[in-house]
C-alpha cells in the first residue's frame, strides 16, 4: 500500500521508483495466481509506464510479454483493461510502436478485449490499437486481426 501511495504523490517519486529497479519485480509479479496481487502489480506498472523512463525500463526488461500475458489471461477483467492501457503508453515512442506491433499476439488480444471487455476495457483496447496504428507497418497486422469487424460490431451494438 505504501508503494501505491508513493506512486500517486508526484512524478519525482515515480522516477525514484523506476531508478530503484521496481519495474522488473513488478513484471515478475504479473505471473502470480493471486488476482489481487496481479491487479496491484499491473496498476503500479500503469503508473510507471506514463513516465518516459518507465516505458524504456519496461521494454528493456521484456515487459511486453508479461503485460501481454495479463491482457490475454489476466485473472481479473480489470487487470486486462489496465494491460491494454499500458500497451498504449509504452507504444507512444515511435521505435516501440514497431516492436510492439511485430508481436503476433498483440492485435488479436486487443481485438478480443474489444469484443469481450467492459466499456473501459474496450476503450483502452481501441486507444492502444490507435497508438499502434501510428506506425504504418502495423496497419496490415491490425486488419488481419479483425479490428475493423470488431469495431463495426461494437458500433452496431451501441
pLDDT score at 1: 40
In this structure, is the dihedral angle defined by the CA atoms of residues 103, 142, 109 and 64, taken in order, positive or negative?
positive
Q: Which of 20, 17, 72 is nearest to 45 (CA)?
A: 17
| Stated pTM of the model | 0.90
pLDDT recorded at residue 21: 77
Residue with cell string 521505435: 95
pLDDT of residue 99: 97
C-beta neighbour count of 119 within 10 angstroms = 10
Element (H, E) at 121: helix 119-133
Q: What's the pLDDT at 20?
A: 61
* 4 phi, psi to nearest 5 deg: -65, -40
Q: Is the dihedral of CA 18, 128, 137, 69 positive or negative?
A: positive
pLDDT at 5: 43
Enumerate domains of the chain plus CATH numbers.
2-157 (1.25.10.10)
Q: Cα–Cα distance between 101 and 53 in angstroms, integer?
A: 20
Q: Where are the extended beta strands (E) located within the chain?
A: none
- Containing H/E element for 103? none
pLDDT in the model for residue 19:
66
- In tens digits, the chain (158 residues) has pLDDT values of 444 444 455 555 666 766 667 999 999 999 999 999 999 999 999 999 999 899 999 999 999 999 999 999 999 999 999 999 999 999 999 999 999 999 999 999 999 999 999 999 999 999 999 999 999 999 999 999 999 999 999 999 98
What's residue 6's pLDDT?
44
Amino acid at each position: 500500500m505504501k508503494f501505491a501511495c508513493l506512486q500517486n504523490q508526484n512524478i519525482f517519486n515515480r522516477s525514484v521508483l523506476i531508478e530503484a529497479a521496481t519495474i522488473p519485480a513488478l513484471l515478475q509479479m504479473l505471473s502470480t495466481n493471486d488476482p489481487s496481487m496481479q491487479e496491484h502489480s499491473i496498476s503500479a506498472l500503469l503508473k510507471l509506464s506514463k513516465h518516459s523512463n518507465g516505458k524504456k525500463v519496461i521494454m528493456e526488461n521484456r515487459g511486453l510479454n508479461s503485460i501481454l500475458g495479463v491482457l490475454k489471461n489476466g485473472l481479473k477483467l480489470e487487470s486486462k483493461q489496465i494491460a491494454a492501457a499500458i500497451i498504449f503508453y509504452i507504444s507512444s515512442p515511435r521505435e516501440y510502436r514497431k516492436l510492439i506491433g511485430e508481436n503476433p499476439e498483440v492485435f488479436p488480444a486487443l481485438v478480443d478485449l474489444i469484443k469481450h471487455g467492459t466499456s473501459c476495457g474496450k476503450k483502452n483496447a481501441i486507444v492502444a490499437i490507435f497508438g499502434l496504428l501510428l506506425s504504418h507497418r502495423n496497419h496490415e497486422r491490425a486488419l488481419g486481426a479483425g479490428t475493423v469487424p470488431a469495431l463495426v460490431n461494437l458500433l452496431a451494438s451501441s
